[in-house]
Structures are given as C-alpha cells and as structure tokens.
Structure 1
Amino acid sequence: MKLAFDLRDFKIPVDRLAPQEVFRTRQKDVLSYRFYSTQSENLVILYHGVGGDSRYLCALASAIAKAGIAQVVTPDFRGHGASLAASDLIAANQLEIDLEELIIHIKMKTSVKKMILSGHSLGGGFALRIAASDIAKQFSKFVAIAPYLPKSFNALTDDLGGWIFMDRDGEGISVNYPEIFKSGEEKTHYSSEFIKAAVVPEDLLFRLREENVPVAVVTGDRDEVVLGHRHQEIFEGIASPVVLEAGLNHLTIVSKPAVLLSLYET
C-alpha cells in the first residue's frame, strides 16, 4: 500500500546540522550552502529536492563526513536558503554555472582531490543532468537518490504523492506542505524555467552509455513520488548499482544513512 505523505515520519537531527554559509558568485549572486568537514580530500556535493533546502540532508551529509568517507557540501539551489526570495526565472544553464561557482569557492576553502556529485529527488535529477553534460569529467562518480525524471520516462507516480502538483503547462511544479509544518522558509512553487534547468535531457541514457559514466541510483520501494521499479528498468546496464531499498519512502531514504554510505566510497 502506498504511504500518504506525512512529515511526522521525517525528522531533521538539528544537533548535526552544519551552519549555513554564503558566497558571492562572479555574477554577483549570493548563494548558500552547508559544509561538513572531515579528514579527507574527497568531496561529496549533495543537492536537495523541491520544497525544502539543504537542511533536510543533514543526517546523510553528517554521516558521510563522520565516517571519514568525504567532506560534504550541501548547496542550496538558487531561490532557496539565503536566496529564497530570488526569482527562479533562470536560463537553462544557470544551475550548471552555479555549481561551477560553488566548486571554485570550495576549492579555495579546502583541499579537494576527488569529487562525487549526488542529489535527492530534483537534486538527484540534477546530478544525472550533470553526469550527461560536458562537465561530467570533473566528478569521479554520480549518486542519484530517488531522482526526479521528466514525465516522458514514465517513472512518476500518478499523484506525485499527493503533495507535488504539476502546473497546467505540465512543466512548473507546486508543493503543498501541510500548514502545521510550514515555517515560512519553504519554496512552494517552481517555474517551468527552473525545472527545465534542473532536469535531465531526453537523451540521458544514450549519453550515459556512450560516455560510460559511473552512476549509482537508489530509490525506496515505498516511494510516493517516483517509481523505484521503473528506475531499475530504466538504468539496467547503465547504472551500477541500481538499488531498491525496502521499507523506505521518498523522504525517509535520506534519513537512513546506513543504506547509502557504501555508494559514496571511492
């Protein structure tokens, strides 16, 4: 039986939450992120999904760092975190530019030898977008957690969990958080321009196969938003591993670090 979306099932361990930091891009934008340090020159860049920001990834990010696997950066997409009020009417390559600006900033702050790009939900889709792009070679691996894929991939549930709604244009997205859980810091609408800048290209699988990109995909078998069994079908022979985790839904999968840690080892 599909679970109803319920934020009471998901807790943010605030005692492990890294402080928000900001940096200014060469385009004069101010973007934010959280940094989890450890004694490693490996770096994981871990992107969040729709509605929230980098805070909800703290359980996974802090676990990766605590295990000594890698330093972890959890960026806030523009229009989230410190730039919540910014317009999301952006160019198709803006999020790639923001990622490259973040990398420049982090490499000025700490020593980095290998980088893994990862993300959850829309952030997982963005990680796959980068995996199929010209800048993929900067990363040693890509880890997509419950990645959001365009409708043409037939990998979304019919009602998107009952808390995400497509706009009439079929491109933009609205997020319906229950009032009791709202803090005023959520992003509740995404323009079609923002979604287009984050999602994978239609020829994703061809590009990943042609370039033999190292990709791992993991989804919960009780996910309310994306279809884990479709991810297994879509990425068979392309991603390794492709994991369907028992008992986990769209949000709880990032609150159970033990099932994910091995994917970040190099």
Structure 2
Amino acid sequence: MGILLTILYLLVISVVIQFSIAVMLIIFGKGKQSRQDKHSLDFNELFFDYTSLPRLQTVTARDGQNIHYRHYSARSNTVLILLHGSGWHSQYFFSLARFISTEGLAEVYTPDLRGHGATPERRGDVDYIDQLEDDLADLILHIRKIHPNAKIVIGGHSSGGGLAIRFAGSRYAQQADGYLLLSPFLKYNAPTTRANSGGWANPYTGRIIGLSMLNMMGIHRFDFLAAISFNMPKEARDGTETLLYSHRLNTAYAPRDYKRDLSTITQPVLVVAGTADEAFIAEQFEPVISAYTLAEISLLPDVTHMGVVVGTDVQLVVKNWLIGINQSV
C-alpha cells in the first residue's frame, strides 16, 4: 500500500510540474507581432483584376454556421476543391480556378476557410482543432448532392496543402479521389520548410509548446490564445486578411503528423512547387514526400510561393494531371 501511495504521489507531482511548466511557457512565450519585413513573401503577383470574380455562396455546416465558397462551373465530372493558404482567403485562386473551369478540366470550388474571409464569425479562430476537416467534409457532402457521380480532388496551397494532407490522414480520407498540393506546408521543422517560412510566419514558440503540453493532458481550455502571426506587407492588406491565428486554428491548418498522414494516401497526388519559393525549399519535396507516398512532383523554375498559384507555368502542369484524372476509371 505504501508503494502505491508513493507512486501516486510521484505521478501527481510530475503532472503538477508539467502543468506549471506549460503555464509558464504560455504566459511568457508569446513571441512577436507581425511586422513588415523585406524577407517575406512577394504579394505583388496577387495584384490583378478581380472584377469578374464569382460571387460568394454559402452552405450550412453541421454547427449551423455558414461555409462561404466560390464556384467556377464547368462541363466536367471532376470536382476540384482548392484550399487557400494562411493569411488571406480564396480570392487569389481566381486565375487558376478560371483556367481549370474554362478548359473543362473540373468544376472548381474555392471555400473561405472558417476564421478567414471578409466577414468571418471570429477572425483567426475556430471552435475546436478538427473543425476545418469537418467543414471540408460538410462542403463535400453539399457538392455530392449537386454532382453525385463526380470525382473529388482536394487541392491546397501552402497551409491549405497542409490541411489537405491532414484531411488525407483523417476519418474522411476516402472521400477524396486525388490530391493537388501546391507548395504544401508539412511542418515547421520539415526539410521542406525555411526558417519561419522565409520570414512570413512569426510563431509564438514557447506558447505553442505550452499549449501542446496541455493538449496532451486533455486540456483545451486555452486553445483560443494567439499562437502565430503573419508578416503581410501593408500594401497587400485590404481588411480581409487574417494575420493572427489562435492555437486551435494554427493546429487545425497543418498535418497531425505529415509522415503518417502522407503514408495513408493511396490516391493520385500531384505536388507542384517553384524553385524561387521564399517559404519552402522546392528541391526537398520529392525526397520527403516520395518517402511516404507515390506522388508526381513538378518543380517550376524561377516560380515563387505565390507564383505557383497565379502564374501561367502551373496551369499546363495541372491541366495534364487533371486530364489523367478524368481519363482514369
């Protein structure tokens, strides 16, 4: 009996110590706010005419809140859902989505992920860590009602690519027939990632560690706290940007474990990255991703992180891959 009490006492002391360390990290590990920095992403390529951008539509998610999305219609039995990266929203997919739909390669849906867009319920936050996956599954259910026999391809850029990989490792994995990953985020310390994503991200490292420790104890009470901010140039801001994320949104937007999540993928995968990417090291995508799943990797010379979405070079690569998807049984 005495031994059991001693063990119990030591366990309690251990938990108290870990909890205290976590709390100290949360309090004092806030980090820096976003600041303008020349060592960030180039947003100049996003400055083009959006006057013919499709209007936002809505579908009701399981919690009663609206999911906002744009639809680029096409005469195709393939649907491509494009998930935007951190900081902004689906608008910047305009040129790529229009090309894909105009070419008849796929019906394209571009959601404004929860916590983002012009009028989010709570900018930079979600209700719980898995909510973006649930929202995507709800959007797919809506799309299935409109296109019941269509193939569903999940695409994503940067953090949106990370979310696509997270979705592939979730209970919803079999809802996708393929994955299009445009410079996908894998993990802050993955071989593909430059320090602080090339100056774009300002993680509150201590706080993230502390909150992750509490999460491992089953404590999520403080997941609303800010965990990362982003460095968007002032000239690129229009009031619809989202430059501060809570811990739960930041966690929701990335793979749980990119190695495990990638290993679950059996569907066709196309990865496209530019060799001039400021946030990621393009040459590392092939050895890293191919170690866990079969993927087609395409590197575009002198293309930047944003250029891999809005540039014309990516269009032919995606076109050829989608033609293959459309022709497969």
Instruction: Tell me the TM-score normalized by structure 1.
Output: 0.90
2:150 equivalent to 1:150: no
Does the Cα contact within 8 Å between 1:43 and 1:112 map onto a contact in 2?
Answer: no
- Deviations along 1:51-93, one digit per CA (max 9) or x if unpaired, are 1100001111111101101100001110112542425143222
CA pair 69-95 structure 1, distance change in 2 beyond 3 A: same
Partner of 2:241: 186
Which residue of 2 is the match for residue 199 of structure 1? 254
The residue number in structure 2 matching 1:104 is 141
Q: What is the aligned partner in structure 2 of residue 33 from structure 1?
A: 69
Task: After TM superposition, give the deviation of residue 7 of structure 1 in Å.
Answer: 2.0
CA contact (8 A) 1:118 1:142 kept: yes
Of residues 115, 120, 138 in structure 1, which corresponds to 2:157? 120
Residue 297 of structure 2 is aligned to residue 239 of structure 1: no
Alignment partner of 1:75 is 2:111: yes
CA contact (8 A) 1:12 1:56 kept: no
In structure 1, C-alpha distance between the alignment counterparts of 2:42 and 2:180, rounded to whole Å? 25
Q: For the residues of structure 1 that align with 2:318 and 2:39, how far apart are their CA atoms?
A: 22
Segment drifting more, 45-54 vs 214-223: 214-223
Q: Which moved more, 1:113-122 or 1:167-176?
A: 167-176
The answer to whether structure 1 residue 164 and structure 2 residue 197 are counterparts is no
C-alpha RMSD of matched pairs (Å):
2.2
Equivalent position to 1:255, from 310, 319, 322: 310
Q: Structure 1 segments of 4 or more deviating over 4 A? A: none
For structure 1, the residue ranges without an aligned partner over 5 or more in a row are none
Note the alpha carbon deviations across 1:28-65, whole angstroms, 9 max, x for none: 11120000001112100110001110000111111110
In structure 2, runs of 5+ residues without a counterpart are 1-37, 209-226
- Aligned pair in 2 of structure 1 residues 26, 85: CA closer, same or farther (>3 Å)? closer
User: How far apart are residue 4 of structure 1 and its match?
Assistant: 5.6
Note if contact 1:36-1:62 (Cα within 8 Å) is conserved in structure 2: yes
Residue identity over aligned pairs, in percent, reads: 30
1:122: how far off? 0.5
Aligned residues of 2:166 and 2:261 also touching (Cα < 8 A): no
Please tell me whether Structure 1 or Structure 2 has the larger radius of gyration of its CA atoms: 2
